[in-house]
């Protein structure tokens, strides 16, 4: 019953979501500097749990996606910019 998410929809969201992350966290970098498949935590962008809460709030406001702290899929959802963009695209198509 679920519709497939087009790769084009995800690709279109990548720079937009990267910009939201940069804006929400006041990062000194350009959206294009966030690699789509690099980890958002640890060795990648280096986000911590507080950063993720701030990003989740901005994403919820911008896209109307429900991102809850007790969701067991959060590790997957926030694993990379592409994973987060894919989640947003899947929620927008519902």
Domains and CATH numbers, the chain: 7-92 (1.10.1200.10)
Q: What DSSP element (H or E) covers 83?
A: helix 81-92
pLDDT (tens digit per residue) in 33-86: 999 999 998 788 899 989 989 999 999 999 988 888 788 888 899 999 999 999
| 85's tokens | 């963009």
Q: Measured between alpha carbons, how far is residue 15 from residues 8, 9, 21 in Å?
A: 12, 12, 10
Local confidence band at 1 (pLDDT 50, 70, 90 cut-offs): very low
| Cβ–Cβ < 8 Å for 24, 62 | no
pTM of the shown model: 0.89
């Amino acid at each position: 019953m679920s519709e497939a998410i087009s790769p084009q929809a995800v690709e279109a969201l990548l720079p937009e979501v990267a910009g939201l992350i940069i804006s929400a966290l006041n990062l000194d970098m350009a959206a294009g500097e966030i690699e789509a498949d690099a980890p958002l935590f640890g060795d990648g962008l280096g986000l911590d749990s507080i950063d993720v809460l701030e990003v989740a709030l901005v994403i919820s406001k911008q896209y109307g996606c429900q991102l809850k702290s007790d969701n067991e899929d959060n590790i997957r959802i926030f694993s990379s910019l592409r994973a987060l963009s894919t989640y947003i695209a899947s929620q927008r198509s519902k």
